[in-house]
Amino acid sequence: MPEWLASSFSTTPIAVDVLALRVALALVFGFVVAGIYHGMHSRANPGDANLAAMLVILTVLISMVTQVVGDSTARAFSLVGALSIVRFRTVVEDTRDTAFVIFAVVVGMATGTGLPYVALVGMGFVALAVLLLKLLHRRPTPAIPAYRLVIRLGVGHDAATLDEVFGRFLESWDLVSLATSRQGASIDLGYAARMRNPLQAPALVSELNRREGVQSVEMQRC
């Protein structure tokens, strides 16, 4: 840029190649920030893609703003007044998203002031923090589904004969209710049971029905 043109726009002109390098680094760092943000969220939410794109653009813009402000206090106050007109319409649902917006601002400022190593070190530690937090907040292993199993057994038949079938299909079983039915001709046995594999429920019911003395089997998930 000619000296007369540079002096017309800035009291401290910045070389074009330096300016381009800083903005390019801000763009790369913006994608890194967006990548760390994407890695933190395991949920599928359309709003995440919008915020990730905003983080990239915001990093570049802050880098440009920092270079425009430079060491001028007057320009800093002027830009604050101008940017105060802008209103964000995107609702930030997670407080961690706000932290990433600030993260993008800091990375953009560090790049714009010619301190890329501050941005690099900061991104490394933020990425490490996100990784550690994800490891500490892993989702617990889902509990084994519980079922209520009601078996109608004819009088004179031993319920202990059912244990062999239970052992093949159930993780655990406890007798929780006992009642007579059909005017005392049969007994309804109620069990609280947990399946080894919920997909084998039909096979369990079929196997119980083949047992001598079993008149009916009812199975419901609790």
Answer for the pair 220, 146: CB distance below 8 angstroms, yes or no. Answer: no
Record the pTM: 0.45
3-state secondary structure 132-201: HHHHHCCCCCCCCCEEEEEEEEECCCCHHHHHHHHHHHEEEEEEEEEEEECCCCEEEEEEEEEECCHHHH
Listed in sequence order, the residues at least 6 apart from 107 whose beta carbon sits closer than 8 Å to its beta carbon are: 26, 29, 30, 33, 59, 62, 119, 122, 123
Q: Calculate what percentage of the chain has a pLDDT beyond 90.
A: 10
Place of tokens 């519980």: 146
Q: Which residues of 72-108 are buried (b: 16+ CB within 10 A; e: fewer)?
A: eeeeeeeeeeeeeeeeeeeeeeeeebeebbebbbbbb
Alpha carbon distance 68, 71 (integer Å): 9
State the amino acid at position 49 in one-letter form: A
Instruction: Look at 8-17, 155-164, 193-202 and tell me which has the smallest mean pLDDT.
Output: 8-17
Dump pLDDT digits (tens) for 189-215.
999 998 888 888 889 999 999 888 999
The predicted pLDDT at position 26 comes to 85
Dump pLDDT digits (tens) for 20-78.
888 888 888 888 888 888 777 655 555 567 777 777 887 887 777 777 677 667 666 66
Domains of the chain, start order: 3-136 (no CATH), 146-221 (3.30.70.60)
Instruction: Look at 2-11, 34-43, 69-78, 118-127 and tell me which has the smallest mean pLDDT.
Output: 2-11
Q: Which residues of 179-208 are buried (b: 16+ CB within 10 A; e: fewer)?
A: eeeeeeebbbbbbebbbeeeeebeebbebb
